[in-house]
Structure 1
Amino acid sequence: MAHVQLADGVLNYQIDGPEAAPVLVLSNSLGTDLGMWETQMPLWTQHFRVLRYDTRGHGASLVTAGPYSIEQLGRDVLALLDALDIPQAHFVGLSMGGLIGQWLGINAGQRLRSLTLCNTAAQIGTAEVWNSRIDTVLKGGQQAMVELRDASIARWFTPGFAQAQPQQAQRICQMLAQTSPQGYAANCAAVRDADFREQVGGIKVPTLIVAGTEDVVTTPAHGRFMQAAIQGADYAEFPAAHLSNVEIGEAFSRRVLDFLQAH
């Protein structure tokens, strides 16, 4: 683990893989940290210099006063790339990480070699849902985060996966219980306020959309909307809920790798 100094705190990151390989940036979902990509690391680090980081408000990264915006989180990524002297990288983001990827694709496409948007949407959820969750977390503190963890298994994974791989499901959900309530609420506001439905068509970099057939948060319909809007976008669908990279594992890793290596 290492960190870069931003204007208002430190951003935690980890970089693995051959130094001469192309850089691949991975962006986590709301309520997780860079460890959510562990399943992908053995394969992807054979071919890429993989840069993972904890989004502001998560893991070992800075927790600043909210609300945050997706633009702010996108600029954190650009600051990370600048600090590490990386002019261009592939980017894979899941859920909130996919919103960050959309902002980058729309506003900083010259920094991207390709863009993979997993289990995300041009707009996620409703203001009512997010405001309720923000209120719950700010009032309930860390105990509310523990309760969110217990409720999230059903949203993040299919029942079959949660039963077959309980340790894996618990490992990911425990990240949520350990997330700063202030940081989580600030990121909920960023997701609440993000709406790229009219801008996503401006993405011109090679793009892959990944969806899960059992994802009730960001559905295949959300994925197909983005595919239709982004010229030439590729699309893949897996029998998974919201965290398809964890649930599908090897098949997810190989499908994304095939796309990355083509660009």
Structure 2
Amino acid sequence: MRRMVEARDGTRLATRIAGPENGPALVLAHALGTDMTLWDEAIPLLPEGLRVLRWDMRGHGGSDVPAAPYAMGTLVSDAEAVIEAHDLREVVFAGISLGGMVAQALAVKRLDLVRALVLSNTAAKIGTPKLWDERIAAVRQSGLAPQADAVIERWFGPRSRMGPAAARARRVLTGTDVEGYAGCCAAVSGTDLYTPVSGLRLPLLGLAGSEDRSTPPDLVRETIDLVPGSRFEIVRRAGHLPPLERPADWAAPVSEFLRAIGHTG
């Protein structure tokens, strides 16, 4: 079921939910420059009986594009809004890249909503303000299309850059509104979650792509290790977007984690 949900500031967010109404909830948050279709290939490979919610972050996909910049706190409030609009509680929240930062910040703020995390290809802090300022300036000057080759090179390993997954990622990236992309870049730029995340105590699975140049495995692991008892796995031959590039290899450890914590239908 597709539905528009209104955020606290009136921004309309495109959401999609599927699965039995009483099923355990899994919430999926996509990466910068992608949209909710990132999860299309992976969802059917997860355990049956889940209530799966995904949405397009503000500035992306079918959601509204308010004026940049955006703050991480605003993206977290958006996550709260879509979860509460669908009457979900005790969710497992899986986020990738930017979505993984939202996942961490939401868990810090709302442990009443989040019972476990899957953090994929993300970190408590990504890049530097200088890097993000330069990226925002570049896309504002010339758009996203001229940046696409460099982004795809960071996102995919050499064997996948000319394949169908990279082609899909390129189409979505270049179709993303510049204002929305710049807005979310600003949110990442201003975020450092190392201290609050180190205080989390909940089940956590961390995943990294062996060929990811945006959030390399060592960076991902540094964040995952902040939470005692967390699990960390590397998805081999995958870059920054394993649910798209290697959906079966991403879904397998996630499914195992969900079963291990008793979060299956």
Q: What TM bracket, shorter-length normalisation?
A: over 0.9
Q: Deviations over 1:107-163 (max 9, x none)?
A: 1122112100000011101111110111111222xxx21122232221111111234
Query: Contact 2:121–2:240 (CA<8 Å) still a contact in 1?
Result: yes
TM-score, normalization: structure 1? Answer: 0.94
**What percent identity do the matched residue pairs reach?**
37
Task: Report the AA paired with residue 38 of structure 1.
Answer: D
Structure 1 distance, partners of 2:84, 2:21, is 17
Task: Report the AA paired with residue 49 of structure 1.
Answer: R
Structure 2 distance, partners of 1:202, 1:56, is 28
Is residue 160 of structure 2 the alignment partner of residue 161 of structure 1?
yes
TM-score, normalization: structure 2? Answer: 0.93
Structure 2 distance, partners of 1:45, 1:135, is 42
- Report SS of the residue matched to 2:184: helix
Match of 1:261 in 2: 259
Query: Contact 1:227–1:234 (CA<8 Å) still a contact in 2?
Result: yes
How large is the Cα RMSD of the aligned pairs? Answer: 1.4
Match of 1:180 in 2: 177
Match of 2:242 in 1: 244
Match of 1:85 in 2: 87
Structure 1 distance, partners of 2:55, 2:220, is 24
Structure 2 distance, partners of 1:69, 1:261, is 34
Task: Report the AA paired with residue 146 of structure 2.
Answer: E
Structure 2 distance, partners of 1:228, 1:24, is 23
Query: Contact 1:44–1:50 (CA<8 Å) still a contact in 2?
Result: no
- Higher helix fraction (1 or 2): 1
Query: Contact 2:92–2:117 (CA<8 Å) still a contact in 1?
Result: yes
Alignment: residue pair count: 258
Query: Contact 2:42–2:248 (CA<8 Å) still a contact in 1?
Result: yes
Is residue 12 of structure 2 the alignment partner of residue 2 of structure 1?
no
Task: Report the AA paired with residue 220 of structure 2.
Answer: G
Unaligned runs of 5+ in 2: none
Match of 1:55 in 2: 57
Unaligned runs of 5+ in 1: none
- 1:212-251 correspondence to structure 2 within 5 Å: 212-239=209-236, 240-251=238-249
Task: Report the AA paired with residue 230 of structure 2.
Answer: A
Structure 1 distance, partners of 2:172, 2:47, is 23
**What is the aligned counterpart of 2:139 among 127, 137, 140?**
137
Residues 234 and 145 of structure 1: is their aligned pair in 2 closer, same or farther, counting only changes over 3 Å? same
Q: Deviations over 1:137-190 (max 9, x none)?
A: 1222xxx21122232221111111234xx2221112211111110010010000
Task: Report the AA paired with residue 85 of structure 1.
Answer: D
Q: Deviations over 1:70-94 (max 9, x none)?
A: 1110111111111111122111000
Query: Contact 1:156–1:241 (CA<8 Å) still a contact in 2?
Result: yes
